[in-house]
Chain A
Amino acid sequence: MVDPRPEAFGKLEQELRRGVVVLAVLSQLRAAQYGYSLRQALAARDMPIEEGTLYPLLRRLEGQGLLVSEWRIEDGPPRRYYRLSPAGQQLYRDLTTSWGGLVATMDKLLSEGADQ
């Protein structure tokens, strides 16, 4: 069956999701998680992120001082657990506020658009 949506839809939707990946990841790292468990947690909340994107992203966020990590052994092989650093917690609060404002603005814009 032919997808009736314009060809650009997939790319633009991916762009939208890419914009919120960092916030989604930060939201799940208030408690420590390792890469695979984090991916599962996000997928279970309808936010699947490709493994090739997520795992390097964790390292980059750690490099920016937003996450801290440690190796732990819990019922299996050693795993690297990540959680928010104090700077990451502050960024998470700031981004959450921005996100709330953005959603409200977009809701307003989209409801105006629907009325026209």
Chain B
Amino acid sequence: MTPHEMIESYVREVARRLPRKLRNDVAFELRDLLADELQAKADAAGGPADAAMALTLLNGFGRPADVADRYRPASFVIIPASQTRGFALTALIGVAIQWVFTLPTVFAEPEAFPGQVLTRLGAWWTSWGLGAFWLPGLLVVIATVAQGIAHRWPRPDAWAPPPVIVDRNRARRPLLLLGLLGWALGAGLWIAMPWLSPHLPGVLPRVFAFDGAFLRERAPWLLPIWAGHFGVHVAAFVQGRWTALTRRLGLAFSLAISVLLAWFIAAGPVFAAKATDEAAKGLTALVVAFSLIAAAVSLYREQRRLPTPRGLPSGA
């Protein structure tokens, strides 16, 4: 390839990445400028221009894609630097959670014929596996629309304080009381269920009969963790504030409950009737998913929490 053919090829690479209205004009100018630069190099070397000289010149000029970017006016950024980490974590964790809850189904039942797991894995990949990427896609679309709006109608530069200062350490007592009553009612029903269900009318005793092994081996573990979680919320209700200790204990108990519920789902039947068991496990899986997301959000907020300045009511 001659030096001028190299320049021609390079200019074409740059030009095809430029807006149509700029393309021909920039290509025409760039071709001549590069020819001038090459001639200057050849004159300095005291000989004719060669391919190696042209390659050095073009590599010094930059990759065609980068050069084309430099010709374009600055555009808006889709994910600003301050949101990159949060975006990446939300996208990755979101995909991971969907995979964690759907991938085990591939291995849940034994193979009916050799290679069935691979077939199931293929089916999983083309459904839930790839399907989980809806979340990063949605996040990108939302970010693009949001940044497009911010670019078109920029917000004023001046910072304004929020109309209401939110004290994140204050325990909202009415809400807490409602939550505690709900918890107590739920726990009471759960504990009373084995004794209540035989007295239900019609087929309901059979529908809501617990699995014997579940009641003996797994169910008892729920009570102390549930009680601990309840106790933490009672403490926050009494004090009227969340402290660093109660926040962390609450988070630990929430995580423990999620792990325990996941164990309930994985370790065997909860209800004796198959249909009830499947429905209950489906609902429990949803509860676990939401609890894990809530725990991840709390953990993230906990890490970003600024220390309270001296003289102000402390959350620590």
Query: Taking beta carbons and an 8 Å cutoff, which residues of A are in contact with B?
Result: 34-36, 50-53, 55-57, 59-60, 63-64, 77-80
Chain B interface, >50% SS class: helix
Q: Mark B8-36, 1 if CB is under 8 A from A, else 0.
A: 00000000000000100110111011101
From 27 to 75 in chain B, residues with beta carbon under 8 angstroms from any chain A beta carbon are 28-30, 32-34, 36-37, 40, 60-62, 66-67, 70-71, 73
Binding site for A on B (CB under 8 A): 22, 25-26, 28-30, 32-34, 36-37, 40, 60-62, 66-67, 70-71, 73
Q: How far is the CA of A34 from the CA of B28 in the complex (A)?
A: 13
Most chain B CB within 10 A, of A59, A77, A80, is at: A59
Q: Please, how many angstroms separate the alpha-carbon atoms of A55 and B67 in the complex?
A: 9
| B70 in complex: contacting residue of A57, A64, A79, CB < 8 Å | A57
Task: Report how far A60 CA is from B71 CA in the complex, Å.
Answer: 6
Cβ-defined contact, B70 with A36, below 8 A? no
Q: Considering the chains assembled together, what is the distance between the CA atoms of A44 and B35 in angstroms?
A: 20
A59–B62 contact, CB under 8 A? no
Cβ contacts under 8 Å, B71 to chain A: 56, 59-60
Q: Which residues of B contact A79 (CB under 8 A)?
A: 29, 32
How far is it, in angstroms, between the C-alpha of A55 and the C-alpha of B35 when the chains are bound? Answer: 13
Which residues of chain B are near A60, meaning CB under 8 Å? 70-71, 73
Q: From residue B76, how far is it (CB to closest CB) to chain A in Å?
A: 16
User: Is A50 touching B60 in the complex (CB atoms < 8 A)?
Assistant: yes
**B80 to nearest A CB, angstroms?**
21
Residue of B nearest to A40 (CB): B40
Check B73–A36 contact: CB distance below 8 A. no
Residue in contact with A53 in the complex, picked from B34, B37, B70, B73, CB distance below 8 Å? B70
Interface contact A55-B30, CB-CB below 8 Å: yes
B26/A51 in contact, CB under 8 A = no
Chain B residues with Cβ below 8 Å from A50 are: 60-61
Q: Contact check, B37 vs A51: say whether CB atoms are below 8 A apart.
A: yes
User: In the complex, A56→B67 CA distance in Å?
Assistant: 7
Bound complex: CA of A3 vs CA of B289, how far in Å? 57
